[in-house]
Amino acid sequence: MDRRSFLKAGLAGSAATGAALATPALASGKIKWNMVTAWPKNLPGPGVAAQMLADRIGILSGGRIEVKLHAAGELVPGRGVFDAVGEGTAELYHAVPAYWGSKSKGILLFGSQPFGLLADEQFGWMAHGGGQALYDEMYARFDLKPFLCGNSGPQMGGWFREEIKSADDLKGLKFRTTGLASEMCSKMGMAVQAMGGRDMFQALQSGALDAGEFIGPWTDSALGFYQVAKNYYWPGVGEPSSAEECGVNAKVYNDLPDDLKNAVSMACESLYNPVWTEYTTKHALALQKLVAEQGVQLREMPEDVIMAMGKAAGEVIAELREDEDELVKRITESFVAYRDSVGAYKSKADNGQMNARAKVLGL
């Protein structure tokens, strides 16, 4: 889908309403839920995944829960879905934890962390390293029950209007990113800005931004960033993976019978791997086309940039470990312990396999 067609499709359903929503049990026994999302409808990647989640909840509930998806701006703004669901305006949302740092910086660790967890490690921390209990404890403060329900896999370093040759080139650079990556980049002297994908395109086009990262080749292609910035950098160390989440209004969730609670939980858990592997597959195909057909210059971040980012990221984590909120400190310590334990193993297991394959196949 080209950018023009995608934007026309997304704008077609953007009429906003503000009525508060309930969770009515119909005479047929069905429960009707409204899902609000942070994405344009059917945006390749997260917009597609949101619809998959809505559909799967319906299937696994045996049709007893019917979920209607509302794209960003239809009921509430994309960045307003967290509050809307906590307050009961809608029953559930689809977004990413990286958007909720204003609520608590501890939330940001559940989505992505500079030099942090890969997609499988993120799920492992939640399921086997104590992460889910901390996730539940944090979101309960906001009347939400959270679930991870997908992952983008490794993100890219971003689209740059000009080539970057050293860390000094980043000072004062107007750059779009989000989550803890924003704090890392700010410490490096970058002028960080938060905005959605469509706004990022406009800002790159006008020169209001010098560079920005969004997700990866599949999603980024649909938004047309290659039309206004030809230098595409890797690796995206600010977000080695980015978990997608479903937040359900806590009262609505707690009022469900146990079998429907399990249906919602399993809908989220069962989508994590399919969503992640779809991103991986389609990112790979899209990147080939960007380079071969769109004249994109694929560039590796200079080593001194990586090292400067690593130093800044270390400062961000150190600050979280000393946060005045005791829960943020516990979340951070749990994350660091899991990262270091599993990372020591994967540096031999996964990295060993990938490096051996690259040597033999010349990749």
Binding residues for Na(+): 214
Q: DSSP letter at 25?
A: B
**Can you state the percent helix, strand and coil of the chain, rounding each to 5?**
50, 15, 35
Q: Are 273 and 284 in contact (CB under 8 A)?
A: no
Helix (H) or strand (E) holding 249: strand 243-249
Binding residues for substrate: 155, 176, 213, 239
Whether the link from the prior residue into 154 is cis, omega within 30° of 0, is: no
For tokens 């971003």, name the residue.
158
Q: Are 35 and 68 in contact (CB under 8 A)?
A: yes
Q: Using CA atoms, how far apart are residues 133 and 334, in angstroms rounded to an integer?
A: 11
Q: Using CA atoms, how far apart are residues 105 and 117, in angstroms rounded to an integer?
A: 17
Residue 37: closest CA among 46, 29, 45? 46
Q: Using CA atoms, how far apart are residues 255 and 62, in angstroms rounded to an integer?
A: 18
User: Which tokens go with 101?
Assistant: 């740092």
Is the Cα dihedral 167, 168, 174, 180 positive or negative?
Answer: positive
Binding residues: 155, 176, 213-214, 239
